[in-house]
A and B are shown apart, each in its own frame.
Chain A
Amino acid sequence: MRRDTRRTNVFTRRALLLGGIEVLALGGLAAKLYQVQVLEGTRYALLAESNRISARLLAPPRGRLLDRATTPLAGNRMNWRAVLVAEQTSDVAETLARFSALIPLSDHERARIDRELLHSRRFIPIILRDFLEWEEMAQIEVNAPDLPGVLIDVGTTRLYPFGQTLAHVVGYVAPPGEDEAEDEPMLALPGMRIGRAAMEKFHDLALRGKAGLVQVEVNAAGRVIREISREEGIPGADITLTIDSGLQQDVMQTLETESASAVVLDATNGEVLAMATTPSFDPSLFNSGVSQAQWNEWTKNRQTPLINKAVAGLYAPGSTFKMVVAMAGLSARTITPGERIFCPGYLDLGDTRFHCWSRYGHGALDLRGGLKNSCDVFFYEVARRTGIDAIAAMAKRFGLGVRPAIELPEARTGLVPTRAWREGHGHHWNPGDTVVHGIGQGFLQLTPIQLATMAARIATGRAVEPHLTRSIGATQSPGAAPGDWPALDVPAPFLHMVREGMWAVVNEPGGTAPLARLDLPGVQLAGKTGSTQVRHVSREAREHGHFNSENLPWEFRPHALFVAFAPYDAPRYALAVVVEHGNAGAQRAAPLARAIMTDVLLRDPAGHTPDGGARLAVRAGAAGEATP
């Protein structure tokens, strides 16, 4: 019994010890709970929130580009598309194989998908196929169980109703690059596009809008349980351009199969009414990536369809530069109004003889005659007397060799050389160089839009800058009123003399551009031709008289240029036409200028605005002519 008591005592002691340990252990857990729930509670509460809440961006619709009468030039359309979320399928290759069994994917598409699979994060949907047809969608839906990770969603895609007609002005959009998406999370959304050229690029931020933000509660699998808050995005702004889409279409048709470009400006305010470049391209092809074959076709084409020649094509201005030389001479008083210069058909300077285009010479000419006949010797002499720097300074006042204000990232500055520029390149400026620049050759490199700007400034005497934007959203862009533009720093009489010369070129018997004469009652066009060599003409060829540029291969023929404004007595429109390798401005460019200007005057695009606007009524004028 004693032993039994002892055993009971041992048991009691040990039971109490075991129980004590167990309760103590639970106490320890209670302390741990206090630590986690109270001392560290705030931290874990934050973690729970960030677990629960997921912020998602809502892609705003991209703004539209409208013409001056609010016709859409670039819009959006619904795009039903098949997307693949890589993380939702165990075997991406297998899913793709099954998908392409239903909807065949081209090698080009496969390459793009593989590329995106490689670069995107696994939960970002990758577009398999855009613009699904109804039957295709049905096929995908029916086979959904076999296509894990494949979903159909709706996005928008860029639509260019005018296609090739406005490709160089409107530009195009393309998927953003990886680094771009890193800076702006919105760009990582599927189907987001950013402007890659022209207006789409220049106004990209305004067109893009601001992404909305929706905060959703998600479960552990990432599925949305409910929406907590929603902040609507701001849709991209609609941007109204100065372009008249109808005129643009006509101009494109006029240029037709040429490799050419034409710019039509409202000379009073610099609005670009039409800017045409041929050949063109289909901007919508960039939407989902251009195939290598297409790209090669574009880049290997000698007529450079991707380049907006109106702002990025560089040409020697040729005789269209003579107005600038004339005004430089007048300003520098190296030639006086009415002064006559004798043209024997050439100018000798040292050992070098510079030929006039007319082998027989023009005899004695004043400034008006010099322009009318486009006499080279006259302008050789004026340039020789005036010097290159004074000519360059005058050229800059007309926007030549200056980067135009045009809102096109592709626009180039061109080159108007000066003595300092030449010496900066380690050469001497020779007197002969100056002479050549008198007829717009030599180092001069200008773009059609610069020539059109020059024509507009000559016509109105205002320092208008070419521009394409009328309004961004509801905000009017400045520059629509002529009063927005300062007067040009050139004496009005000089401008008047040059305009008279340009009138004579077209309208006086013996002028070089009779083909540019308008067939409209009461309205006259003033202009100037230009033909610029792209290859040196050897002296022997010229002297032996068997030089004929028509016989040259296409790429060695001279460019044909024409600048013009109209109506002569109340200038409203200015234009420049350049036909690459078109041989002679008078033959090839002048008729195009005439056709375009006729169209411009009959349409009166400046009146084509959403708010109406002052109309220049050619037809009314014609009627008035008939009445008297």
Chain B
Amino acid sequence: MMERRLYRGQTFGIVAKLREVSWLYVALLALLAAVGYTALYSAGGGPQPFANRHALRFVVGLVILVATALTDLRLIQRLAWPLYALGVGLLLMVARFGHVGKGAQRWIEIGGFQLQPSELMKIFLVLALASWFHRASFERIGNPLFLIPPALATALPVALILKQPNLGTAIITALVAGAVFFAAGVRWWKFALVALLVVLAAPIAYHHLHDYQRARIETFLHPESDPLGTGYNIIQSKIALGSGGLWGKGFLNGTQGRLDFLPEKQTDFIFTVLAEEFGLIGALAVLFLITLIIAGGYVIALRARQPFGRLVAIGITTNYSLYVFVNLAMVMGVIPVGGVPLPLVSHGGSALLTAMFGFGLLLSVEVHRDAAAESERETR
């Protein structure tokens, strides 16, 4: 059995591998992208300027996804640290040459393509951490000294992202890393210790926050105090959601979105366009689809037989669900607004392609689920 699976995972032809790809999962992703197309069609008042470009990017993303899915997981594992180094390099480049947008250096241009290295960095960090813990025996994970290198590997990019400054992504990056640590089996009390440190450090950190970040937190606490200033986004977003009601105003009939009351409706606030036009029913349907995609990620994680694949699947899925949660909680006014798009739905090439790359890794774990990585055996 073992031999056969090993054999199958390593040398199966492309056609055989393609057969192993979970096309059901790809269909779920395509369905979500179609939801995005619908929302962007409404946000743009037609196929232009958002919807068709979104569709095109999804097709490009699909190619990346399939290519990644077919890539041997062990190759990915070998590339984990070099990719991590690349990510850190890109972050340093952003700090040096990055474009300033909304008071922060977040993206760089490579061949006319805008890239947010922090997005890629999260995935590369997941790969690096998964690769680190892959080798570890249960006992070694219990050894605090063993945890110092991955902790530092997490701290470096988080610090660089914080410096951009991009608080939201930094927190998501830290949480994703935490999920990998957790799934790898790090003790509960160690998380509690880190959490305590964070709570103690928060007031000091608040001091060092940028004014706009503080403003966001304050508006979050009192959105109605400044209805035309920073609180405007949250209020208009809630009006859009609320006025959608149970059944919505109908496709292309959302007044909040079509009359531009919604800020950045094609990116961060795309969900409100959907919720306004399709109501609670439509919003819950989208939420259900997203839940299926997350659940699918966990199924892949649980089905994978080697630790690297499992941890990658956990990291990627957690990254995605955090994205979704932060975005939705943001538009509902549950957490401060933070420039986090809704993957596969929001307009934006970099984010979509990064997400498809992530899902490609997830599917690669699925395709190579039975291939016991040799390095694991070596460590035994």
Listed in ascending order, the chain A residues whose CB lies under 8 Å from chain B are 3, 6-7, 10-12, 14-16, 18-19, 22-23, 25-26, 29-30, 32-34, 36-38, 40-41, 43-45, 47-49, 51-52, 217-221, 225
Q: Tell me if B259 and A44 are in contact (CB < 8 A).
A: no
Question: CA–CA, A34 to B318, complex, Å?
Answer: 25
A32 B243 Cβ-Cβ under 8 A: no
Q: Which residues of B lie under 8 Å from residue A217 when comparing CB positions?
A: 255, 259
Question: Does B310 contact A15, Cβ atoms closer than 8 Å?
Answer: yes
List of B residues within 8 angstroms of A221 by Cβ: 260
- The contact of B138 among A3, A30, A51, by CB within 8 Å, is A3
Chain A residues near B310 (CB-CB < 8 A): 11, 15
Interchain nearest-CB distance for B172 vs A (Å):
13
Interface of A is mostly: helix
Q: Is B81 an interface residue (CB 8 A)?
A: no
Minimum CB–CB distance for B146 against chain A, Å: 14
Within 8 A of A (CB), among B267-311: 275, 279-280, 283-284, 287, 290-291, 294-295, 298, 301-302, 307, 310
Contact with A along B300-327 (1 / 0, CB 8 A): 0110000100100010011001001100
Once the chains bind, are A219 and B295 in contact (CB under 8 Å)? no
The answer to whether A33 touches B245, judged by C-beta atoms less than 8 angstroms apart, is: no
Query: Is B229 part of the contact surface with A, judged by Cβ < 8 Å?
Result: no
* Separation of A29 and B260 alpha carbons in the complex (Å): 25
Chain B residues positioned under 8 Å from A23 (CB to CB): 291, 294-295
Contacts of B95 in A (CB 8 A): none
Q: Are B321 and A22 in contact (CB under 8 A)?
A: yes
When the two chains form their complex, are residues A37 and B242 in contact, meaning their CB atoms are under 8 A apart?
yes
Contact partners of B283 in chain A: CB under 8 A: 33, 37
Chain B interface: which size bin? 35 or more
A444 to chain B, nearest CB (A): 65
Among B255, B279, B318, B329, which residue has its beta carbon within 8 angstroms of that of A51?
B255
Question: Is A219 within 8 A of B259, CB to CB?
Answer: yes
Also in contact, A37 and B294, with CB within 8 A (given A51-B256, A225-B259): no
Subset of 8 A-B contacts with CB under 8 Å: A12-B302, A15-B301, A19-B294, A23-B291, A33-B241, A40-B242, A44-B239, A48-B240
Residues A33 and B280 in contact, CB atoms below 8 Å apart: yes
Question: Told that A15-B302, A48-B240 touch, could you supply 14 new A-B pairs with CB distance under 8 A?
Answer: A11-B183, A14-B185, A18-B314, A26-B287, A29-B329, A33-B284, A34-B280, A36-B242, A37-B245, A37-B275, A37-B279, A38-B280, A41-B244, A220-B260
Give the distance to chain A from B81, nearest Cβ to Cβ, in Å: 22
B17 on interface, CB distance cutoff 8 Å = no
- Does any Cβ of A come within 8 Å of B132's Cβ? no
Closest Cβ of chain B: how far from A334's Cβ, in Å? 82
Interface residues of B (CB under 8 A from A): 137-139, 179, 182-185, 236, 238-246, 255-256, 259-261, 275, 279-280, 283-284, 287, 290-291, 294-295, 298, 301-302, 307, 310, 314, 317-318, 321, 324-325, 328-329, 332, 334
Q: Which residues of the other chain, B, contact A10 by a CB distance below 8 angstroms?
A: 138, 185
Q: In whole angstroms, what is the CA distance A37 to B238 when docked?
A: 9
CA distance in complex: A47, B236 (Å): 9
Contact of B242 (CB < 8 Å), options: A7, A11, A19, A43: A43
The answer, among B184, B185, B279, B295, for a CB contact under 8 Å with A19, is B295
Q: Which residues of A contact B301 (CB under 8 A)?
A: 15
CB distance from A9 to the nearest CB of B (A): 10
Most buried by B among A14, A40, A49: A14
Find A36's partner among B139, B183, B294, B332 (CB 8 Å cutoff). Answer: B332
Closest to A219 in B: B259
Measured CA separation A14–B261 after assembly (Å): 43
- Which residue of chain B has its CB nearest to the CB of A18? B179
Question: How far is A220 from B185 in the complex, measured between Cα atoms in Å?
Answer: 51
Q: Which residue of B lies closest to A23 (CB)?
A: B291
Report chain B residues within 8 Å CB of A32.
329, 332, 334
Question: What is the bound-complex CA distance between A267 and B291, given in angstroms?
Answer: 95
Chain B residue, CB-CB nearest to A34: B280
Across chains A and B, which 4 residue pairs bring their CB atoms closest together, nearest first? A44-B242, A48-B243, A19-B298, A219-B259
User: A19-B294, A26-B290, A37-B245 are known contacts. Are A52 and B279 too (CB-CB below 8 A)?
Assistant: no
B261 touches A51 (CB 8 A): yes
Query: Which chain B residue lies CB-closest to A17?
Result: B182
A51: chain B residues within 8 A (beta carbon): 236, 239, 255-256, 259, 261
CB distance from B257 to the nearest CB of A (A): 10
CA distance A15 to B245 in the complex (A): 36
A26 touches B321 (CB 8 A): yes
Cβ-defined contact, B314 with A7, below 8 A? no
- Judge whether B318 and A22 touch: CB under 8 Å: yes
Q: What separation, in Å, do the CA atoms of A218 and B328 have in the docked complex?
A: 27
CA distance A217 to B255 in the complex (A): 9
- Is B325 touching A44 in the complex (CB atoms < 8 A)? no
Q: With the chains together, A23 CA to B302 CA distance in Å?
A: 16
Contacting residues, chain A, for B256 (C-beta < 8 A): 48, 51-52
Q: Measured between alpha carbons, how far is A25 from B275 in the docked complex, in Å?
A: 18
Contact of B259 among A19, A36, A37, A52 (CB under 8 A): A52
Within 8 Å CB of B246, what residues of A? Answer: 37-38, 41
B240 and A33 form a contact (CB under 8 A): no
Q: Are the CB atoms of B239 and A18 closer together than 8 Å?
A: no
Residues of chain B contacted by A45 (CB below 8 angstroms): 242-243, 245
B185 touches A11 (CB 8 A): yes
Nearest CB of A to B171, in Å: 15
Q: Knowing A14-B182, A18-B179 are in contact, say whether A29-B332 is a contact too (CB < 8 A).
A: yes
CB–CB A37/B295 < 8 A: no
* Interfacial chain A residues near B334, Cβ < 8 Å: 29, 32
Q: How far is the CA of A30 from the CA of B291 in the complex (A)?
A: 11
Q: How far, in whole Å, are A415 and B183 apart by their CA atoms in the complex?
A: 104
Contact call A18/B182, Cβ cutoff below 8 A: yes
Instruction: Report the bound CA distance from A277 to B240 in whole Å.
Output: 65
